[in-house]
Amino acid sequence: MSPWRVLAAMSGGVDSAVAAALLAEQGHDVTGVTLKLACYGKTPTSPRACCTLDAMDDARKVAIRMSFPHHVVDAEEVFRERVLLPWVDGYASGRTLYPCAACNQHLKFGDLVARMELAAADRLATGHYAGVREEADGTWGLYRAADAAKDQTYALALIPYAVLARVLFPLGALAKPEVRAHAKRLGLTCWDKLESQDLCFVPDGDYAGYITRTFGDARGATPGAFVDERGIRIGTHRGILHYTVGQRKGLGLAMHERWYVLAIDAAANAVTLGPRRSLERTALVTERVNWLLPHPVPAGTRAHVRIRYNHAGAPATLWPGEGGAVEVRFDEPQLAVTPGQLAVFYVGERCVGGAAIARSLEPARAPDGAAGATPARA
């Protein structure tokens, strides 16, 4: 196989460093690129593993060690417009968006793909734990990583299908200890670097505080009513920015049993609470699906569906509908189906597509109060 000209995305962490370094070791013509994002890490003293000045320097050191060029690209405006602001709008409207998927969609596999043309690169490489392969019919597929605990296909579900033929995931067949071992073997100083956690731009996990401090955005910060499932007021919340469906901690209410956030109504500035059993949903409807296939799946396709990053997934049937949306009907009720999070579809080990969750569907109730067989739209 002839060497490729590879544009390697490098965050400054050990995963992307090893991905780029292994390709260089194999003889490919690698150019490293680090995206400067509108993240919090604007000082070199941040302990985070990415989005800092230290992270950019770590990526540069890997490039020097492996003898390939490295560039820093200013992507702050794209990151702000395509990732940060939609995330803020989502929280202000009671939706919990997953910004890592948007970042992959619009920056790593959007903006960087466009830059491949400028660099005359054949392939784009990243440090994601995933696999990509050509099928017998000439199409390309995205597959789960060998290390199930590190698999990142959920976060990649929104990338364009067209890029799969041009993407390299060098870590797809490796476990994390193997990646660190390669880094140490190659003499990369980041071999023992800590991994980033949570959102790279909210280091302390205080999403509401970040939104109000950074953007001066008061939407969703006004106290309002906690209500029960009957709509009766049972307390006062701090502002809907502080809550997400399925949340139990931080409610500030003393109840006779554990209550959870069931729904958020931004227009009414109300948060509905109830017992855990009331979080169960039998189905959901997505927004327009991004298919990682040449064509959408046929109605009635069986799939394994994940509804958040740390969700193991559940068997379901897919029913494509109008506007590119899909209705997902689960075999068994699922907890905390959250608008804004992704529903990602798997057929075997292949990730075939995904989309943001538009809404959940509640079980229909028979006249005697027993659960019905078909979902009723919420």
Catalytic sites, residue numbers: 103, 200
Q: How many CB atoms lie within 10 A of CB 79?
A: 24
Side-chain-facing half-sphere of 32: CA atoms under 13 Å: 30
- The token pair at 62 is 């890997």
Residue 334 near residue 307, CB atoms below 8 Å: yes
- List phi, psi (to 5°) of 143: -125, 155
Residue 95: which of 351, 267, 231, 222 has the closest Cα?
A: 267
Sheet containing 123-125, strands listed edge to edge, beginning at the edge strand earlier in sequence: 70-74, 29-36, 5-9, 123-125, 167-168
> What is the per-residue DSSP string for 51-94?
SSHHHHHHHHHHHHHHT--EEEEE-HHHHIIIIIHHHHHHHHTT
Q: Over the Cα atoms of the chain, what is R_g?
A: 22
CB 239 within 8 A of CB 224: yes
HSE-CB at 118 with a 13 A cutoff on CA atoms is: 8
Q: Please state whether 231 falls in left (phi above 0), alpha (psi between -120 and 50) or beta.
A: left
| Amino acid identity, position 11 | S
Which SS3 state, helix, strand or coil, does residue 177 take?
helix
How large is the greatest C-alpha to C-alpha distance in the chain, in angstroms? 73
Q: What does the buried/exposed string (b/e) look like for 98-134 if buried means 16 or more CB atoms within 10 Å of the residue's CB? A: bbbbbbbbbbbbbebbebbeebebbbbbbbbbbbbee
**Is-contact 171 127, C-beta < 8 A?**
yes
As separate numbers, helices (DSSP H) first and strands (DSSP E) second, the chain gives 8, 19
CA 231 to CA 360: how far, in whole Å? 19
As beta bridge partners, residue 350 has 143, 347
Calpha distance 68→46 (Å, rounded) = 27
